[in-house]
A = this chain, B = another copy of it.
Amino acid sequence: MTGVTIGSAAKATSVKVPTIRYYEDVGLLPRAPRTDSNRRLYGPDELARLRFIRHARELGFEVDDIRALLALQSEPQQTCTEVDAIARSHLTEVERRIESLLALKSELERMIKGCKRGRIAQCRIIEVLQNHAQCAHHPRG
């Protein structure tokens, strides 16, 4: 019966206490075993999972995506077809995201450069964003 309390788990993973409980509620974490006095206990595996979830969320994956990613891990001798499909579609999504983040990066850099000139009168963020908005498909920065 080893394991740490939800508070230490929160500290260890940078996921807040109520968020951990929320993840259990929505099934991203297995129902934690409890002490005699009904407190949740977390072992190293759960902490790893939590860190994974946190990071994936930071990367913008939705809870459902994360559920899928977690599923990939826990089916080690399944036929590969399905796993491959999930991984593949995630890869596509990840690549898409990298693309648009790179576009955003260069645009933000451009904004900052423009601002360096010192006066908003010459600052073109608004102009830039508005114009850019017209070419809906970011045809490569």
Q: A55-B100, A101-B94, A108-B91 are in contact. Are A123 and B60 (CB under 8 A)?
A: no
Interface of chain A residues 70 through 106 with chain B (CB within 8 A)? 70, 72-73, 75-80, 83-84, 87-88, 90-91, 94-95, 97-98, 100-102, 104-105
Chain A contact residue count (CB 8 A cutoff): 59
Number of copies: 2
> CA–CA, A121 to B74, complex, Å?
9
A49 at the interface (CB under 8 A from B): yes
- Return A86 CB to nearest CB of chain B, in Å: 9
State the main secondary structure of chain A at its contact with B: helix
A30 at the interface (CB under 8 A from B): no
